[in-house]
Amino acid sequence: MPAPRLRHGAPALLAAAALALGGCAATGDPLEPVVEGQWTLAAATRGGGQLNFAGTTVTLTAAADGFSGIGPCNAYGAAIAGDTANLEVLSLIPAEETCDDAVMELETAYFGLLLGATTAARDNGQLVLAGDEGELRFDPAPTGGAADALAGTTWNLQSVTAQGAEVPIAPGPDGAAPSLTFGADGRTSGSTGCRDIALDYAVTDGQVQFDGFPAETPECPAETAAQDDVLFTLLGFGFPADTTDGVLTVENAEFGLVATFTS
């Protein structure tokens, strides 16, 4: 298996880049009251047919001037302008991970519908983005539950495995063990042993997703480089918020990466 090409392209950074490529917003009623919030894809239609996104969790975080989120494979950001009757998705920039063909086809369809959306509306609590080719329907992202279970907890790294091989864990320069803390304010803090972790997080459909990744990857000492690489890759993809038996297991089966934490 080839080593994964790590792209810590956070949705927020991608949205900012997309906005820089966009133009001036059209005049009209603001989009913000309608689109603002965190959303999870509920249904998608194209050409009158329903697209099957089962097995994926597609998210959209919307503000007055941009969208960001996680597609079937990649994080993405897009600049928006106009109003609810004249929506313009000016540009869309995804990260550059590669998933299997079926997932990439879904992602292409999703991004196409998002770019083609020309109206935004609320319908029975859903956010509906529609255009000539079809529409996307989003449910409000769930709150509570798994998010409440993580908020205010700290987890210490116990093991790291890459492609079936155990990765030795080394403390940071200050001797502190690598750890991950989920704040009640939606912020994550901690350390990989090489660098500090300071990210935004949200729990959607039981999946923890992160935002606010640094643009640059530092050079780590040899003893902490591998664990830093694995941990930031895992954080970049997100993971289920499962803390069964007091163990937080973070896994990406495609790349054969696993990290376990205990509280």
Of the candidate CATH numbers 3.30.1490.20, 3.10.105.10, 2.102.10.10, 2.40.128.270, the domain formed by 11-140 belongs to 2.40.128.270
Burial (CB count within 10 angstroms: exposed 0-12, middle 13-18, buried 19+), residue 230: buried
pLDDT recorded at residue 26:
44
Pairing of the two strands 37-46 and 134-140:
antiparallel
Of the candidate CATH numbers 1.20.1250.20, 1.10.10.10, 2.40.110.20, 2.40.128.270, the domain formed by 146-262 belongs to 2.40.128.270
Phi, psi of 106 (to 5 degrees): -65, -40
Domain ranges of the chain: 11-140, 146-262
Band (46; pLDDT cuts 50, 70, 90): very high
pLDDT in tens, 104-161: 999 999 999 999 999 999 998 899 999 999 999 999 876 555 556 788 899 999 999 9
Helices (H) and strands (E) in the chain, counts: 5, 18
- Longest pairwise C-alpha distance within the chain: 59
